[in-house]
Each structure stands twice: as C-alpha cells, then as structure tokens.
Amino acid sequence: MQLTITAVGPDSRGLADPIVHYVTSLGANIYEIQMYDHDQERLFAMLVRIELDGSASDLDVVRKRLAEIASQTGLSIRVWSRDDSLRKPRIAICMTYRTEPVQAILNAVHSGELNCDVSVIMGNRPTGESIANKTGIDWHMIADGSGNPDNDHMVQLFDEYEVDYIVLARYMRVLPAGTCWKFAGGRIINLHHGLLPSFPGFRPYEDAFSHRMLTYEATAHFIIPELDAGNQIVHQSTFTVPPPAPRSNKSNSKANPRTNLNVSSKG
C-alpha cells in the first residue's frame, strides 16, 4: 500500500522529526521526502511518500497516530492512498468563467474515457452553477462578490467530499502555497490554455499571437506553488491557426474572415 503524507503549518523547529520517526518505526519503505520553507509566509510544508505492508485497518491506525502528531505540532496533516478503497477516484472541479473545460471533463467521465466520479464543482464566479445543477453535481460558490476566493473554505470542501484529485479547469486564481502543499504528490491538475513552459500566465494565447506563433497548445500538468511551473506535464495537445491572408488594395465585399483574426485569452 502506497501512502502520501503531507504536513503544512506555521514554521517552527522540530516539526519533521515526529513524522519521520513514526514512519521509520513502521518499517515503511520511504520513496521520497521533501521539505519546504516559505520565508515570506513563515510556512513549513513536508511531503513523504512511503510503501507500507498492511490493509485498510492499518491505514486507519496510521491516520489516527498522525492526527495525534498534528494536534501536538499544530500541523495540518493528510494521509492519502490510491489503494484506500475499491471505489472510483473522486475529483473536484474548480472553475471561474468558462464552462467548456468543465463540460469536456463531464463528457469524458460520461463516456468512460475518464474512470472517475465528479463529486463537486466549485468556483469563484457563479457561472458554473447552471452546469452543476443540470448534471446533478453539488455546486459551491467559494468567493465573495468580487471573485476573491476563500481558500480555507475550498480546502474544507476538498476534505468534506474526500476527493482524490482536484482539477483546475480554467480556474483563474492562483492557489496559495499552503493549499498546493496540502494536496501535493500529484493530486492537483491544472488545465492551462497554452503551451508550457513557453507561455505561462493568464494570457498565453495573446502572448503566442504576439510572437507570431501559428501553433497553439493546451497543457495539463500537476501544479507546484509557482504559477504554471514545474516539470510535471501530464499531456499537451495542439491546434493550428492559419496566418491572415494579405489584404487586397481593392474593395472586396467577400473579404477573407481570417484577415481579422483575433486571438483572445478567454478563448
């Protein structure tokens, strides 16, 4: 059984020791340990991947002990395993304005192309409520009237719905480092409407157009705290936009529509 343990909280001394000591006492095979210290936020984060011989009941024991360590240290600790149960993975979809990426995910789930269940859709704008109601999936608005998200509420919902993966489907807000680390280990996937690493940020199509690119891309990647960064690309696909035809000096009522090509970051 493979386990991913994440621990996040205010930075202090000796936070990693009780976790490492407990994991080693289990006789677990440790694949990876990462520790992160974000000075600006005084944030400590830790990721541990282990393989453990045992069953679901043993996992409950591990969770209970790590919950005690969390209480003692003030850390937010999560234990996640893909081998936890035989159910399909549960995903949460986060969005802002565009419904097309969400609909594409729902279509892939319905067709069986994606072997998962969509447990909840949430957004920092009310646009997604209609698509959630139409499909019978729970909807949560996680922001104020200006679109500023309540990140603590978002994390609370992820835990409440026991989601395995989080998909940012054109979610146009940057997740804080703490949220990224709480669900680290390949659990948050971003659908970026541009080629990475060449065109990160909020306007990748416009940036590509300004560089006279003819080929545009979409990228699915696991996230890290830095925006559109990390060497963890899952998939990329391309499409080609032909260049505008040269304008004629003579008036032509049947002008080529490509002469007014407009590439929008909201496309």
Instruction: Out of 1.10.645.10, 3.40.50.170, 3.30.750.24, 3.30.200.20, select the CATH number for domain 90-240.
Output: 3.40.50.170
pLDDT beyond 50 at 265: no
pLDDT beyond 50 at 261: no
- Domains 2-80 and 90-240 agree in fold: no
Alpha-carbon distances, residue 211 vs 30, 102, 214, 241 (angstroms):
45, 29, 9, 13
For residue 176, the 8-state DSSP code is P
The contacts of residue 6 (CB under 8 Å, 6+ apart) are 45, 46, 47, 48, 77, 78, 80, 181, 182, 183, 184, 185
- Choose among 36, 48, 34, 49: nearest CA to 9: 36
pLDDT digits (tens, 9 = 90+) for 168-188: 998 989 898 899 999 998 899
CB contact at 8 A, 188 and 166: yes
Q: Which amino acid is located at 109 in the chain?
A: V
pLDDT beyond 60 at 248: no
List the single range of 78-87, 195-204, 218-227 with lowest mean pLDDT. Answer: 195-204
* Burial of residue 32, with CB atoms counted within 10 A of its CB: 0-12 exposed, 13-18 middle, 19 or more buried: exposed
pLDDT beyond 50 at 10: yes
- Choose among 169, 95, 151, 167: nearest CA to 126: 95
Split at pLDDT 50, 70, 90, the class of 262 is very low
pLDDT of residue 52: 86
Q: Which amino acid is located at 163 in the chain?
A: V
What's the rounded mean pLDDT across residues 205-212? 71
| Topology classification of domain 2-80 | Alpha-Beta Plaits (3.30.70)
Q: Please state the domain extents for the chain.
A: 2-80, 90-240
Mean predicted lDDT score pLDDT of the chain: 83
The pTM score is: 0.80
